[in-house]
Amino acid sequence: MGLRKSIFMRTAIITGALLTFVSLINTNVQAKSSGSLTVSTFGLSTKQMQSDVLTPFSKKTNVKINTQFGDSATRLTQIEKNKNSNVDVVELSQNNALTANNEKVFQKLDFSKLKNFKYLSKSEQKLAKETNSIPYTINSVGIVYNAKKVGKITSWNQLWSSKLKNKISIPDVTTTFGPAMLYIAADDSGKSITSKSGASAFSALKSLKPNLVKTYTQSSDLANMFNSGEIQAAVVGDYAVGMLETSNSNLRYVVPNSGTYANYDTVSIVKGTKNLKAAYKYLDYRISKSVQKKVAKTSSLNNAPVNTKVKLSAANAKNKTYGKIADRAKTIDFKYVNAHLKNWITRWNSLINN
């Protein structure tokens, strides 16, 4: 009996070891079969993006992530011009997403494959269907300023004050909030931006020019300009406020009571991707409750949530298009903007950059 028991135990151990080995092989095969995904996204807060979105997604799904960082317009141009860019998923500003969809850059989405799509608002679902992309955060524009140098700023029209001569930077017209700057200028003139193809906006910008030091294309450039004393105020998207306040304790941010202009950042699947299954997983992950709550933290990406199941504390709602600020955020007609943008860029360069 002792010999039989010994043989039986050895057999069991060998069998168990073989099963474990086979299991490991299957796990490795499964991990490899999950494939890879190249994500093109914004060049702001890249460390937080990596640690709070990309790395956790990779660990959860066994999908290897490759990244491409940069401003929205530049990355859009890259996938437009290079059909073999190998980008699978791209995150863009709302107007760039509209352009890309019109040019058939995106894969047509099957929204039934996104279990979290139902948690978007009706207007956001409508936007998704119009642009073939998923809005994952909403942001808006305000004024950041050095309170020690220029005192308190509360309104848009203060940007035109002679007290701010040679002290301001504004977003270039080609950036996410470039069109919003034109809307703000038109508002200051008292006329609609749709009047005479935006003539009122450019008239107001001409009046603003003495106050302008330079325009910027990346929000990260503003930190250096503030810290060097080159500028004392800037028009900026709320997603950059945390980074700027961290770099300079004298900076304050305000969204004027008269209102602001909103923009969605969106995520889309690039047409022709060979990693479609992984791409859908990423889109759904981006709008999941857990991820939306994580990236809404001021210590993370400071992204205002679009998932309606996410509720923010007062601390995490700070400097976001959320609550009362969201209520007074106005929309930009990006169809109108994009129809005039080529002409506006020419006029902008002639006026501002000369």
Its domain, for residue 121, covers 32-135+267-322
Do residues 239 and 147 share a domain?
yes
Do residues 197 and 291 share a domain?
no
Do residues 301 and 339 share a domain?
no
Do residues 237 and 348 share a domain?
yes
Do residues 203 and 346 share a domain?
yes
So what's the pLDDT on residue 84? Answer: 83
So what's the pLDDT on residue 20? Answer: 37
Do residues 162 and 57 share a domain?
no
**Do 270 and 104 meet the contact criterion of CB atoms below 8 Å apart?**
no
Do residues 44 and 164 share a domain?
no
Confidence label for 354 from pLDDT (cuts 50, 70 and 90): confident
Do residues 236 and 345 share a domain?
yes
pTM over cut 0.75: yes
Do residues 89 and 127 share a domain?
yes
Q: Pick the more confident residue, 14 or 284.
A: 284
In a domain, 18, yes or no: no
So what's the pLDDT on residue 220? Answer: 85
Mean pLDDT of 168-187: 95
Split into its structural domains, the chain has a count of 2
Do residues 94 and 53 share a domain?
yes
Do residues 58 and 120 share a domain?
yes
In a domain, 17, yes or no: no
pLDDT digits (tens, 9 = 90+) for 144-158: 999 999 999 999 999
Alpha-carbon separation of residue 99 from 5, 92, 105, 138 (angstroms): 74, 10, 9, 18
So what's the pLDDT on residue 218? Answer: 86
The enclosing domain of 252 has a CATH number of 3.40.190.10
Tokens of 54: 């990309």
User: Could you tell me where the beta strands, DSSP code E, fall in the chain?
Assistant: 36-42, 64-70, 89-93, 134-146, 168-171, 212-216, 233-237, 251-254, 260-269, 329-330
In a domain, 14, yes or no: no
pLDDT digits (tens, 9 = 90+) for 312-334: 999 999 889 999 999 999 989 99
Confidence label for 18 from pLDDT (cuts 50, 70 and 90): very low
Do residues 121 and 199 share a domain?
no
- The mean of the pLDDT values for the chain is 90
In a domain, 2, yes or no: no
pLDDT digits (tens, 9 = 90+) for 51-90: 999 999 999 999 999 999 999 989 999 999 988 889 999 9
pLDDT digits (tens, 9 = 90+) for 202-237: 999 999 999 999 999 988 899 999 999 999 999 999
Residue 113 has pLDDT above 70, yes or no: yes
